[in-house]
Structure 1
Amino acid sequence: MQTQLPTIALAMGDPAGVSPELTAKLLANDEVRAAARFVVFGDRRILDDGARIAGVTPDIAVVAPGASYDATAKPVLIDLAHLAPQDVKRGEATPEGGAFALENFRQALLMANEGRADAVCFTPFNKKAMRYVYPGYDDEIRFAADVTGFKGAAREFNVLDNLWNCRVTSHIPLSEVAAALSVEGILAELELAERCMRESGIEKPRIAVAGLNPHAGDGGNFGQEEIDIIEPAVKLAILKGFNASGPYPADTVYVRARNGEFDGVLTMYHDQGQIAMKLMGFDRGVTMMGGFPFPICTPAHGTAYDIAGRGIANLGASKAAVLLAARMAARNLAAKNK
């Protein structure tokens, strides 16, 4: 029996950066097109400009909003016709660019939330531009929850090849991290991480848990969080059947993970793992938003305003994001069809 290809709703990102050319490169890539069916939200003029910059000619169908289409033959662009190229200020965050990206993302999320797409992907956004038109825009998770009405727990994961980076706290001040840690919170993040990693194809994820303090507290010399909170959470996770271990010093755990000892690392705060992951593979890293009823993936890098329009944007991370979303969506489809 032929495997059913998932449908991915792809939102064009910030038009002033490398998003238009990356979107065009994705749609022209044979491996990407073979992995899923694509419905793209954006503006044909912006995509055409991106294709010109990238030097590609993607074979797509273009339809107006509300028109019928068939995404099985070739990718489909829903042309929202909401931004002219002459209104794009390349390399600059603007309200026009933010409105463009926000509407594309909104439409992609609604499509998946209504069950008409199996995953959502987007090329890089610029948060400053999006806050111009959506002042409450904290991050993509908050916006996705606002649009879809999702009330559950969701979290950002960073994925580099087959290595996952997970975190207990995310976009909060460093001064608030210790107070935000709890046994229950760490255990919940381990559970979510394991579920998402399983959906990606890792059958029994080996998850290392990082300590908060230098040398994982050094037996209490540099803090009590490892003894009072992190280690009890790991022990509970093991009792629940998770393949978890730690806490480990954060400055060495990624060396072990990179060498294949672990499938993922759960860190206590944002930069604790982000720095290591981006240093190991900035051009290949993926940000995956887990916990929603469908995967949401994007390249881990930003809009790269400094190289926009030069045709040199690296496709690696965007391609990896789409392929991860396709793989997770395909497994979810297979599970539903059993």
Structure 2
Amino acid sequence: MGDPAGVSPELTAKFLDLPEAKREARIVVFGDARILDEGAAVAGVSLDLDRVDTPEAARSSGRNVLVDLKNLAPAEVRRGEATAEGGAFATRNFREALLMAHRGEADAVCFTPFNKKAMRYAYEGYDDEIRFVADVTGFRGKVREFNVLPNIWNARVTSHVPLKDVASHLTEDAILAEIDLTLRCLAEAGIESPRILVAGLNPHAGDGGSFGREEIEIIEPAVAKAKAKGYAVEGPFPSDTVFLRALKEGWHAVLTMYHDQGQIAMKMMGFDKGVTMMGGLPFPLTTPAHGTAYDIAGKGIADVGATREALRLAIRMAKRRGRFAQAAE
């Protein structure tokens, strides 16, 4: 369960009521029963799941199960406000889920939206979920955040860095590494023969060097190296048309150079269906791409569409990883 002051409690309840959650996976929820019950009341759903007190007890349940951590009283929730109490609730829930997956007892992790301000109150230095995952599990491999819609993915070379620093982070190796990871994640999600378009950094992709030389000196050589490896990759293309080209021509993903270059396009195309996925981890990690929606919290109108897509992607990737592991044995 994510931030208790936003739509996360009602989305968690709606999540558990989805046919996919009842039919295609066994869900272990971490949170407080009182908060979840309030979310169910707001969402207007009736929950049918076992309730236990420890992660160990969850193993013996053959049904969907709530691990009741008893970690937040409803009276402590200030709806629509980021607080230390809410951040502590979300970070504890997230930590327990990550550790369960890290121990190999869960195939994937899916969370309803966090509020980063609240998380920072509770966890000093909280930058983003990738940093937190590394701190909790000790995983030191390459992890990257992807935004996913049913018909297009967005990968990016830089993420949570100031715009003024983006160009200094771009290297041929960094771009090639993102192409490698993107193709692997697309394949894990069941996309056969994945293909990627690469965006430029500057207006009009630099216009032959008129508006910057990163395309000529960094991005084009990286794309050439990717193509030499046999990858289906083209670019760089101007960022204001690259998504239009990808959709029209049936490309599977667009690799952008910085956060908002892709985020704006993705959220305009599918705010109610967008998923954020952390690629590169030993297990799939997904969440709806929208935020905590403090302005509509408690009204029962939160759209479960993106949460459903996050669940579907987690299930799909977990099943394929299971098959890959069996094939390797």
- For normalisation by structure 2, the TM-score amounts to 0.97
State the aligned residue count: 327
Equivalences for 1:215-254 in 2 at 5 Å? 215-254=204-243
Cα drift, residue 260 of structure 1: 4.4
Cα separation, partners in 2 of 1:71 and 1:202, compared to 1, 3 Å: farther
Conserved in 1, the CA contact under 8 Å of 2:28 and 2:58?
Answer: no
Give secondary structure in 2 for the equivalent of 1:283.
Answer: coil
Cα drift, residue 87 of structure 1: 1.0
1:85, 1:128 → 2: CA distance? Answer: 20
| Residue in 2 that maps onto 1:9 | none
1:47, 1:121 → 2: CA distance? Answer: 16
Pick from 262, 275, 286: which aligns with 1:286?
Answer: 275
Give secondary structure in 2 for the equivalent of 1:89.
Answer: coil
Cα drift, residue 71 of structure 1: 6.8
1:301, 1:51 → 2: CA distance? Answer: 20
| Residue in 2 that maps onto 1:165 | 154
Matched, 1:113 2:102: yes
Pick from 311, 318, 325: which aligns with 1:329?
Answer: 318
Structure 1 window deviating more from structure 2 (284-293 vs 30-39): it is: 30-39
> Structure 1 segments of 4 or more deviating over 4 A?
none
* Structure 1 residue runs without a partner (length 5+): 1-11
CA-to-partner distance for each residue in 1:3-27, whole Å, 9 max, x for gaps?
xxxxxxxxx0000000000000010
Pick from 131, 139, 142: which aligns with 1:150?
Answer: 139
Cα drift, residue 35 of structure 1: 2.3
Equivalences for 1:6-17 in 2 at 5 Å? 12-17=1-6
Cα drift, residue 334 of structure 1: 1.1
Cα drift, residue 67 of structure 1: 4.8
Pick from 8, 30, 33: which aligns with 1:19?
Answer: 8
2:171, 2:149 → 1: CA distance? Answer: 27
Query: 1:229 corresponds to which letter in structure 2?
Result: I
Equivalences for 1:94-105 in 2 at 5 Å? 94-105=83-94
* Structure 2 residue runs without a partner (length 5+): none
1:297, 1:213 → 2: CA distance? Answer: 30
1:187, 1:13 → 2: CA distance? Answer: 34
Equivalences for 1:163-242 in 2 at 5 Å? 163-242=152-231
Cα separation, partners in 2 of 1:33 and 1:182, compared to 1, 3 Å: same
CA-to-partner distance for each residue in 1:73-101, whole Å, 9 max, x for gaps?
42110000010111110000000000000
Cα drift, residue 72 of structure 1: 6.5
1:32, 1:79 → 2: CA distance? Answer: 19
| Residue in 2 that maps onto 1:63 | 52
Conserved in 2, the CA contact under 8 Å of 1:254 and 1:265?
Answer: yes
Query: Aligned residues: percent identity?
Result: 65
Equivalences for 1:62-101 in 2 at 5 Å? 62-69=51-58, 73-101=62-90
Over aligned residues, Cα RMSD in angstroms? 1.1
Conserved in 2, the CA contact under 8 Å of 1:155 and 1:290?
Answer: yes
- For normalisation by structure 1, the TM-score amounts to 0.95
Give secondary structure in 2 for the equivalent of 1:91.
Answer: coil
1:35, 1:275 → 2: CA distance? Answer: 32
Query: 2:10 corresponds to which letter in structure 1?
Result: E
1:207, 1:254 → 2: CA distance? Answer: 11
1:183, 1:69 → 2: CA distance? Answer: 46
Give secondary structure in 2 for the equivalent of 1:219.
Answer: coil
Cα drift, residue 258 of structure 1: 2.5
| Residue in 2 that maps onto 1:3 | none
Matched, 1:314 2:298: no
Give secondary structure in 2 for the equivalent of 1:251.
Answer: coil
Query: 1:90 corresponds to which letter in structure 2?
Result: R
2:16, 2:209 → 1: CA distance? Answer: 53
Pick from 261, 266, 285: which aligns with 2:250?
Answer: 261
Equivalences for 1:133-148 in 2 at 5 Å? 133-148=122-137
Cα drift, residue 66 of structure 1: 4.8
1:243, 1:53 → 2: CA distance? Answer: 47
Query: 1:53 corresponds to which letter in structure 2?
Result: V
